[in-house]
Chain A
Amino acid sequence: MIGWLSAANLVAWAPFVNPLKLPPGTRLWLVLPLLLCVAIVYRVTRAQSAAGLVRPTLTTFLNILIGMVLIAAGAYAAHELVLRMA
């Protein structure tokens, strides 16, 4: 289960030189921290000060996330439709 974190991998590993092996199944979840960073930077460009940034940042984060989920669902539905029609 933790084969990706084996001792052999860690002993010879140098950060930024050797690539890091990600645990299986994490690829999809890595969208969340990236979306948070996008939301933070977007909101900072519209702010006058750092105070009161949390709420608008979370709103933007959720807006992007919901939008991307809807786009993914739409693309999946179109894909399924094309497969059934073919």
Chain B
Amino acid sequence: MSRTDPTIEVTRIGLLAWLLPGAGHYALGQRGLAKILFIAISAPYLFGALVGGVKESINPRANGWLFVAECGVGSYTFAGWMLASRLPSIAPPTPSPYSSYYPESDVAQIYLATAGMLNLLAILDAMARASSGGQALFAREAARKRAAAEARAATHAVPPAATGAAPPPNSGSAA
């Protein structure tokens, strides 16, 4: 039985996480975290699209930088863009039923951009977990720092004999 190339596996997990929030974690077997991520990223994205409407909110021609941020969630942005491109354009003097205005447009932009950026964080986390056998990136960092601190403490520790103090009677027993 051949093992999957780690680079291909990490890329596959990253693509899954990009397509659907939490899908990368789900594929890694961390289903609890996947469900939480799905809700915590989908909810602000869908709320932003609901408040702003897709015509102006998910449209690279209307707001390019916002669209870049939204692209953190691949499938939602693609579906929203497809829907937006099917809606008719209305000349500026007439108020468009598809366009949101202040303050709704602000709320929609903030929610959509934040959701896109949050999924970027989730993608990176899923890829880091895929490359380390499911361990969180920050857990590895914390373990490395803890090991370094313990090594430093062991190096600087003065043995009891050097200070002339007698060791405690039960030192080394179960703590």
Contact = CB atoms under 8 A, between A and B. Distances in A.
Interface in B37-56: 37, 40-41, 43-44, 47, 49-55
A46 B122 contact: no
Given A42-B121, A45-B122, A48-B139, A22 B104 contact: yes
Tier of interface size on chain B: 35 or more
Nearest to B30: A49
A64 interface: no
B114 A45 contact: no
Contacts of B44: 33-34, 37
Contacts of B65: none
B162 interface: no
B155 to A, nearest CB: 29
A34 B114 contact: yes
Contacts of A37: 40-41, 43-44, 114-115, 118
Given A41-B41, A46-B136, A47-B33, A17 B53 contact: yes
Interface string A21-55: 11000010010011011101110111111110100
A30 B41 contact: no
B135 interface: yes
Tier of interface size on chain A: 20 to 34
B111 A41 contact: no
Contacts of A12: 97
B139 A20 contact: no
B103 interface: yes
B83 interface: yes
A44 B40 contact: yes
A19 interface: yes
8 contacts: A19-B101, A27-B107, A33-B47, A37-B115, A41-B118, A44-B36, A45-B124, A49-B30
Interface of A: 12, 15-22, 27, 30, 33-34, 36-38, 40-42, 44-51, 53
Interface of B: 30, 32-33, 35-37, 40-41, 43-44, 47, 49-55, 80, 83, 87, 97-101, 103-108, 110-111, 114-115, 118, 121-122, 124-125, 135-139
